[in-house]
Amino acid sequence: MTTTIELTAKDFKGVDPDWCPGCGHFGVLNSIQRAYADVGLQPHEVVTVSGIGCSSNAPGYINTYGMHTLHGRALPFATGVKMANHELTVIATGGDGDGYGIGAGHFTHAARRNVDITYVVMNNQIYGLTTGQMSPTSRPGLTTKSTPFGSIEYPYNPITSAIMNGATYVARGYSGDIRGTTKLIADGIRHKGFSLIDIHSPCVTFNLENTHDFFKQRIKKLDEVEHDASDWKAACEYAMEWGDTIYTGLFFEVESESLSQLDPILKEGGPIAKRSLPLTPEQADRLKSRLM
Partner 1 sequence: MSGYDMAIAIGGEAGQGIATPGDILARLFVRRGLNFNSYNAFQSIVRGGHIFLTLRTTEETKYSHGDKLDILLCLNQDTMDKHLHFMKAGSKVIYNSDNITPGSAADGVQLCGLPIAELTGNARAGLNQNTVAVGAILYMLGLEFQVLKDSLTQQFQRKGEAIVIENVKVAQAGYEHAIKNFERFPDEIPMLSTPRGVWSGNDALAMGGAAAGVKFYAAYPMSPSTGLLHWFANNGRNIGAMVRQIEDEIGVANIVIGAAHTGARTLSATSGGGFALMTEAIGASSMMEIPTVYIDVMRAGPSTGVPTKTEQGDLWQALGASQGDFQRFIAAPLHAQDAFNLMAEIFNLTDRFQCPAIVLSDLLISEGHYSVDPEELDFFPTIDRGSTITEHAVGKTDYLRYKFTESGISPRAVAGLEGYVHVVATDEHEENSGLISDEFTNPHKRRAMVEKRSRKFENIVAEIAPPELVGPADADVTMIGWGSTFAAMHDSLALLTDRGITANFLSVKWIVPLHADKIAEVFANAKRTIIVENNQSGQFARYLRGETGLVPDGHIRKYDGEPFMPHHIADGVEDNLKNNTEQFIPFQEIVV
Minimum Å gap between C-beta 179 and partner 1 is 27
Site for partner 1 in 25-44 (CB under 8 A): 42-44
Binding to partner 1 in span 74-133, by CB under 8 A:
75-85, 87-88, 105-106, 108-109
Element (H, E) at 35: helix 25-39
Query: Contacting partner 1 (CB under 8 A), which of 60, 208, 209, 212?
Result: 60
Considering beta carbons, is residue 63 or 137 the nearer one to partner 1? 63
Taking CB under 8 A as the binding criterion, the range among 61-69, 153-161, 237-245, 247-255 that sits at the site for partner 1 is 61-69
Q: Which is nearer to partner 1, 69 or 210 (CB)?
A: 69
**Residue 176 to residues 29, 53, 246, 261, Cα–Cα distance (Å):** 11, 20, 14, 35
d(CA 196, CA 193): 10
CB of 210 to partner 1, least distance (A): 25
Instruction: Look up residue 219 and give its amino acid.
Output: I
Helix then strand then coil, % of the chain, to nearest 5: 40, 15, 40
Nearer to partner 1, 254 or 266 (CB): 266
Q: How many CB atoms lie within 10 A of CB 217?
A: 11
Report if residue 261 touches partner 1, rule: CB under 8 A.
no
Q: Which is nearer to partner 1, 114 or 138 (CB)?
A: 114
Query: Near partner 1 by CB under 8 A, which window of 135-143, 171-179, 201-209, 281-289?
Result: 281-289
Among 67, 142, 171, 185, binds partner 1 (CB under 8 A): 67
* Cβ-proximal residues to 211 (8 Å cutoff; 6+ apart), any chain: 202, 204
Told to check if 271 binds partner 1 by CB under 8 A, we report yes
Give CA–CA dist 252/231, Å, rounded. 7
Q: Is 202 in the site for partner 1 (CB under 8 A)?
A: no
Which of 23, 68, 26, 29 shows the shortest CA–CA distance to 48? 68
Q: Decide: residue 65, CB within 10 A, 0-12 exposed, 13-18 middle, 19+ buried.
A: middle
Stretch that binds partner 1, among 11-19, 32-40, 141-149, 198-206 (CB under 8 A): 11-19
